[in-house]
Chain A
């Protein structure tokens, strides 16, 4: 299991050091040697990081980096590496939930809190309950003197209980639910317009403000479910509006979802945490709506000039608007000057980034726009050809590129006096670009 957990700043100075096991060298000098070893071999290494897992002096270091803060777990045993990384991410989430951005300043200001958290969520190197909702009930930095006996046992039963993510006795005057379908669409396209790979990774994010211990059921246009129901006679629905259901390659759920029920009935039922949480993640690869098509044309004119023309076409209903469109066209390192003409938006050559950045604020569906650039190059005798990195694109569209639709979200709370109809529910779809690249 995890032998010790350390937080460094970008210079390699130790901000937090918590030792859980003697085998990594004892809490005193042994650990200082290890801390130095990691600094010298990883943080100060000349090369870029070659692996998130490093073995130094028969000790394994597993690290992640958040902005310029390094979190490292050290161990001498054959730990479950996946678990350690998941834990490090979780640790980041918990810290962020307590004090916001993980920065050197924030870590230093909250070091007592961080030690307290580390004592609670990691015992002898074994991760314990790390749900922020539960932790915030008793790790407050305010002292817990005032608690009554009932409150105490409520805390402990929540921390250890089956529904560790929700406490009892939550009350809202108005019961409300917000549901976001956030998708990122990823594409790798060949210069000829052939889709090399495309997938959507989506998340269903919820904010729930519901009283009591409500039982929820979430339904979407999952092909497997629709097909099952379709046998009963609902096939005219499908005929009416074409693509009604989507094939989901795989999905994962928040721990509140009853997985065995999903496995057998493919229904998503759960008691939601209070406030923000991510209900599910999913991935689709079939029948993706690619919101934009990028058509690149790069021509080398002699050794010192390059002509680039890029056309973008929006491919969705003309009544919808895409926002925050940005096209990034890489330029060679030897670029000495760039002339740009674009029909829409603003374009700029950014020498520090070796790229032309073309921004368009809004663009409706079924439209087309283009940019042309003339790039002057410095003559070199470098034999190596320019690698031609792909043209990448960013955008945001108000629909789900996978085609996912929320069909229902039912809420049942038998003990309290409100029904499904009393709950106000909101849903919104946002499609964003993930890695959306076209080779040129």
Chain B
């Protein structure tokens, strides 16, 4: 009776409708069924046995129901197996289904008796009623008994070709079931081909189920090329997409997401056909469509109109997901978190929809907060802050904490808002709510680090709350603040001393922080805190069992006792700024997760391999390459590449290349910011200090500057790296000095040293100009510029020393800091210490140098081109190359692209050869030349590479030779900079420094590197 007064008619008819209500039948109307859940009599099994064997049909059925109910609540009713199976042959479909249910549960525990059921199954598969045929084949697939599986094959084969679509769609899923039990059987019986044929079935649901089954089977055979996605099948799938059920649409979209279109046009046409799905009522259809679009969008050129249209179309459906049920909202929010990291532009105007509602479940609230911070910008920060302040007064502790933390993150992200954030945080501290205060102090510490010398005036307020802090993180943060600003806090020593009393009860985090803070305090106020520092050092080193704490204690102790000046430089060093976004997902992982939108991986923010057992999780998905060049990216699987390559194109190296084709060609692409450059003077003086300057190898004497006061210049040609003659070369320098006058950078003295340019050095090799390494400003008048070259198998460091000061410079000496490739002025190669992970930001080829004269010691650092390190015997035997390439695990592989290189492959090969990068083999696939190359570094590391060259890009016509070579070298350089070597049980762990792997398009290079153990053997 809801259709009352407010009803209005569209048309003018006014007759009152009497519409038939559908009869609402009471299903399972017997209100007695629930009684089966409560029977707990003893001797029940015996009674049931009797009932199951009863002649009366009704009684039989009731008995089976009781058995199923017992099974559900976890009672063991397997003893009734033969009796239940006896009930199987019945006309009553309801009873039959119950018996089947029992069979599925217990067949595995009674395999011999399960065989009794086979006959009925086989018979049912021939039943005229399609519902019964399907039921039989569906159930048989669920009985995981080998002997039954054998009997399943023939009925399944028939059902796959059944005239009724309902049977075919059931049979399609059954192939996946059978594959799960016995994969080999499925292959041998040819079911996979039949399944592939079903993709072209006329019925959309059959297509959808076949796609689901094939996708699942393909997951356990990563390289089987089972799905064989090509434009024709894609077209079939897209057609079925419009017709099948909502679930079928999800299967198809998830499958489409694995396809890599050949070019941006194909990509766009698929996107156009997928976008209507964004209006589907089923959120899963929407998110799967979003996944396909996010992935294929990578291939669209950004300047394309359609690209912008697509971006605009994505926002509304994502927002709509937030009005779904809370569980779906949660999944959607976890995915939106990924999407805004990848493409922030999509939702940048939608901040308001992420505002937290009072009644949202806590898991939705927490996720919304995360996204609010990600979308925070100068434009909306006022609104965001007002909201966050509201949230900080709510009830749920976790939520309040996160809100407080979010205010801190806003301060760090949007500089203009920092001041307001700090004052908001101070307001919150005034509330004296314990956990709010603690959280606020933790974030204020970060704000201090981001904006030094700006907000320290609030320290006094913070100190007032010292007593209320009971959580380690907050205590550690507060101690850090006291130590860092000890000079501004009058009673810093008292404050820190108060913590010291319960030193051993504190958590490690607090202990470490306390140790550092007191050492800082001592260095700032040495006179009054000597006792305190001794106390903490002895607590840390003598009374503690924690090795981290002890080691840190010892380091400080020794530093302080040997060289307080150095200690000051170490402990009070300038800290690097903290980055804006601290919790961004690492780019490679993010790319992988984008490929998994909608799935559990996107909910956990972990790759599937982290939570899926077995082979299914191993495959790493990745986004297709970026658009622009219009050339094809990696083909999705090597098999496809192989079949599309006409055999005639394979040149003489047939054997080798044939083998190469079988290699796994699925490396991960990584992009990231360019490697940070280190400034000349920013170097750890520590190593040099500890070594002292006494052991300097060579001494240089320079005569007085000419009276005309023009700067005097010395060109120094010296051999570095494994050449014992170096000392002699240095020794010779003073004598030739006058001749080098006015000839900086020309290498004019080379002849004198018999190191003439061009000897043993093919034309065209990299020969960069000298660069200023040490400006005169920084070295009291001494300017050093230089360059590294490799000549006749020897690495040379050519330096030009210029005296721009007014006085005489004498007593020159040089020393290198320890470096990655063990370069040292003369003398044998040193064995290196491994780079620690946090050092890896610095390029490996960074060389830190100290030069001494009568005035002072000057430090500078310079980078030598990695090509210096390529030795002449870097050409690997072809067979060795092949074997090695195969052996190297894929993890060791990096891939990147070189842009704006306009050489053909032969030219590139020649250029590279001149820098000791040798081409081992070459093949041509789809108009791309693939060069397989090897090089060897001085320390014995082999680097193997695959270089792809796409011939003739008409857009660019001119380019220089040097560029090509240098770009490539630069790549090798980047590549090697991600090799940090650790020994762990004789294995090499490779730390990829993602930020180093950077470069846009043109030649696709693939590098594999290999360690030679003898060089890096652990001592």
- Name A's B-contacting residues (CB within 8 A): 1, 13-17, 19-23, 26-28, 32, 35, 48-53, 55, 58, 60, 62-64, 75-83, 85-89, 98-99, 105, 108-113, 115-116, 119, 123-124, 126-131, 138, 140-141, 143-145, 147, 149, 152-153, 155-157, 159-162, 164, 172, 174, 176, 178, 188, 196-197, 199, 201, 207, 209, 249-255, 258-260, 262-263, 275, 278, 280-281, 283, 383-385, 387-390, 392, 398, 406, 408-409, 421, 424-430, 435, 437, 439
Within 8 A of A (CB), among B230-272: 242-247, 250-251, 254
User: B84 → chain A, closest Cβ, in Å?
Assistant: 14
Partner among B8, B33, B242 whose Cβ is within 8 Å of the Cβ of A427: B8
User: B335 → chain A, closest Cβ, in Å?
Assistant: 8
A202 CA / B431 CA spacing, docked (Å): 41
Residue of A nearest to B22 (CB): A275
B9: interface (CB < 8 Å): yes
- Name B's A-contacting residues (CB within 8 A): 3, 6-11, 13, 15, 17, 19-20, 22, 26-28, 30-34, 36-37, 65, 68-69, 72-74, 76, 78, 91-94, 97-98, 100-101, 104-106, 108-109, 128-131, 138, 141-142, 144, 164-167, 169-170, 173-174, 176-177, 180, 203-206, 209, 212, 216, 242-247, 250-251, 254, 273, 275-277, 279-284, 286-288, 316-317, 319-320, 323, 325-328, 330-332, 352-353, 355, 357-359, 361-363, 383, 387, 390, 393-395, 431-433, 596, 598-604, 608, 611-614, 616-617
Partner among B320, B433, B601, B611 whose Cβ is within 8 Å of the Cβ of A252: B320
Quick one: given A49-B363, A52-B326, A86-B282, are A176 and B19 in contact (CB under 8 Å)?
yes
**A111 B165 Cβ-Cβ under 8 A:** no
User: A277 → chain B, closest Cβ, in Å?
Assistant: 10
Which residues of A are found within 8 Å of B395, using beta-carbon distances?
387
Partner among A75, A88, A408, A430 whose Cβ is within 8 Å of the Cβ of B10: A408
Interchain Cβ contacts under 8 Å between A and B, 9 examples: A35-B74, A82-B332, A83-B284, A99-B27, A138-B131, A197-B353, A197-B355, A250-B279, A383-B432
**A388 B328 Cβ-Cβ under 8 A:** no
Partner among B130, B331, B433 whose Cβ is within 8 Å of the Cβ of A82: B331
**B600 A16 Cβ-Cβ under 8 A:** no
Quick one: given A22-B180, A76-B613, are A105 and B34 in contact (CB under 8 Å)?
yes
**B357 A188 Cβ-Cβ under 8 A:** yes
Which residues of B are found within 8 Å of A85, using beta-carbon distances?
283-284, 325, 327-328, 331
Residue of B nearest to A51 (CB): B363
Residue of B nearest to A48 (CB): B362
User: B33 → chain A, closest Cβ, in Å?
Assistant: 5
**A123 B138 Cβ-Cβ under 8 A:** yes
**A113 B28 Cβ-Cβ under 8 A:** yes
User: A57 → chain B, closest Cβ, in Å?
Assistant: 11
**B6 A174 Cβ-Cβ under 8 A:** no
Which residues of A are found within 8 Å of B20, using beta-carbon distances?
172, 209
Residue of A nearest to B30 (CB): A109
Quick one: given A112-B28, A283-B323, A428-B7, are A53 and B603 in contact (CB under 8 Å)?
yes
Known interface pairs A124-B174, A197-B355, A427-B9; 17 further A-B residue pairs with C-beta atoms within 8 A, sorted by A's residue number: A15-B37, A32-B74, A49-B361, A50-B362, A82-B328, A109-B33, A109-B34, A111-B34, A116-B94, A143-B91, A160-B165, A160-B205, A250-B316, A255-B282, A278-B281, A384-B433, A426-B17
User: B534 → chain A, closest Cβ, in Å?
Assistant: 40
Partner among A79, A86, A196, A197 whose Cβ is within 8 Å of the Cβ of B283: A86
**B279 A188 Cβ-Cβ under 8 A:** no
Quick one: given A49-B363, A77-B612, are A28 and B105 in contact (CB under 8 Å)?
yes
**B34 A108 Cβ-Cβ under 8 A:** yes
A299 CA / B362 CA spacing, docked (Å): 30
**A55 B604 Cβ-Cβ under 8 A:** yes
Partner among A143, A160, A255, A409 whose Cβ is within 8 Å of the Cβ of B203: A160
Partner among A78, A126, A140 whose Cβ is within 8 Å of the Cβ of B608: A78
Determine which residue in A78, A127, A149, A383 has the highest number of CB atoms from chain B within 10 A of its CB, and name it. A78
**B596 A389 Cβ-Cβ under 8 A:** no
User: B108 → chain A, closest Cβ, in Å?
Assistant: 7
**A250 B600 Cβ-Cβ under 8 A:** no
A143 CA / B316 CA spacing, docked (Å): 47
User: A104 → chain B, closest Cβ, in Å?
Assistant: 8
**A255 B27 Cβ-Cβ under 8 A:** no
**A144 B93 Cβ-Cβ under 8 A:** yes
Determine which residue in A105, A249, A385, A430 has the highest number of CB atoms from chain B within 10 A of its CB, and name it. A249
Closest 4 CB pairs of A and B: A250-B316, A108-B34, A156-B166, A263-B276
User: A144 → chain B, closest Cβ, in Å?
Assistant: 6
Which residues of A are found within 8 Å of B13, using beta-carbon distances?
424
**B280 A253 Cβ-Cβ under 8 A:** yes
**B10 A409 Cβ-Cβ under 8 A:** yes
Residue of A nearest to B240 (CB): A162
**B138 A385 Cβ-Cβ under 8 A:** no
Residue of A nearest to B4 (CB): A428
A172 CA / B123 CA spacing, docked (Å): 41
**A1 B28 Cβ-Cβ under 8 A:** no
Which residues of B are found within 8 Å of A281, using beta-carbon distances?
281, 320, 323
Residue of B nearest to A437 (CB): B358
A387 CA / B403 CA spacing, docked (Å): 14
Which residues of B are found within 8 Å of A130, using beta-carbon distances?
245, 247
**A64 B10 Cβ-Cβ under 8 A:** no
Quick one: given A262-B279, A385-B431, are A115 and B9 in contact (CB under 8 Å)?
no
Which residues of A are found within 8 Å of B611, using beta-carbon distances?
55, 58, 60, 78
A259 CA / B325 CA spacing, docked (Å): 23
**B355 A196 Cβ-Cβ under 8 A:** yes
**B316 A249 Cβ-Cβ under 8 A:** yes
**B97 A110 Cβ-Cβ under 8 A:** no
**A426 B3 Cβ-Cβ under 8 A:** yes
Partner among B68, B131, B288 whose Cβ is within 8 Å of the Cβ of A144: B131
Which residues of A are found within 8 Å of B101, using beta-carbon distances?
115, 119
A167 CA / B248 CA spacing, docked (Å): 20
User: B615 → chain A, closest Cβ, in Å?
Assistant: 11
A223 CA / B426 CA spacing, docked (Å): 48
Which residues of B are found within 8 Å of A429, using beta-carbon distances?
6
User: B254 → chain A, closest Cβ, in Å?
Assistant: 6
**B164 A83 Cβ-Cβ under 8 A:** no
Residue of B nearest to A18 (CB): B101
User: B113 → chain A, closest Cβ, in Å?
Assistant: 15
Which residues of A are found within 8 Å of B614, using beta-carbon distances?
23
Quick one: given A115-B101, A160-B206, A387-B395, are A435 and B279 in contact (CB under 8 Å)?
no
Which residues of A are found within 8 Å of B242, using beta-carbon distances?
258-260
**B320 A99 Cβ-Cβ under 8 A:** no
Which residues of B are found within 8 Å of A398, using beta-carbon distances?
6
**B9 A109 Cβ-Cβ under 8 A:** no
**A388 B393 Cβ-Cβ under 8 A:** yes
Which residues of B are found within 8 Å of A383, using beta-carbon distances?
431-433
**A14 B74 Cβ-Cβ under 8 A:** yes
A112 CA / B99 CA spacing, docked (Å): 11
Which residues of B are found within 8 Å of A112, using beta-carbon distances?
28, 33, 65, 68, 94, 98
**B276 A259 Cβ-Cβ under 8 A:** yes
User: A145 → chain B, closest Cβ, in Å?
Assistant: 6
**A76 B28 Cβ-Cβ under 8 A:** no
A168 CA / B602 CA spacing, docked (Å): 42
**B72 A15 Cβ-Cβ under 8 A:** yes
Residue of B nearest to A279 (CB): B281
User: B555 → chain A, closest Cβ, in Å?
Assistant: 40
Which residues of A are found within 8 Å of B251, using beta-carbon distances?
126
A404 CA / B630 CA spacing, docked (Å): 45
Residue of B nearest to A421 (CB): B11
Which residues of A are found within 8 Å of B144, using beta-carbon distances?
22
A332 CA / B774 CA spacing, docked (Å): 70
**B131 A143 Cβ-Cβ under 8 A:** no
Which residues of A are found within 8 Å of B383, using beta-carbon distances?
196
**A124 B3 Cβ-Cβ under 8 A:** no
**A174 B316 Cβ-Cβ under 8 A:** no
A152 CA / B358 CA spacing, docked (Å): 52
Partner among A89, A155, A255 whose Cβ is within 8 Å of the Cβ of B280: A255
**A79 B599 Cβ-Cβ under 8 A:** yes
